[in-house]
């Protein structure tokens, strides 16, 4: 079974973080998703989970916050 895309149809890139507000992916991750094998997609999903956890730790769900990377 193929790994589903994390896209939630909230497609806005933020200049401060370089991340999509909806799925926490970079433009390169979004553009390359369909070319990734399942292992590559799972790696991206793991990175996204780390970014989400960082956002939670700083107490924000604001994906535009540069704090997501700290």
User: What pLDDT does residue 65 have?
Assistant: 57
Q: What values do phi and psi take at 47, rounded to 5?
A: -65, -40
User: What pLDDT does residue 70 have?
Assistant: 43
Tens of pLDDT, residue by residue over 11-66, are 999 898 899 989 999 999 999 999 999 999 999 999 999 998 988 887 755 555 55
The answer to whether 17 and 68 have CB atoms below 8 angstroms apart is: yes
């Amino acid at each position: 079974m193929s790994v589903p895309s994390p896209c939630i149809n909230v497609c806005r890139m933020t200049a401060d973080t370089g991340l999509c507000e909806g799925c926490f992916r970079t433009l390169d991750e979004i553009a390359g998703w369909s070319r990734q094998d399942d292992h590559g997609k799972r790696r991206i999903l793991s990175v996204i989970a780390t970014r989400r956890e960082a956002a939670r730790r700083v107490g924000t769900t604001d994906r535009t916050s540069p704090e997501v990377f700290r």
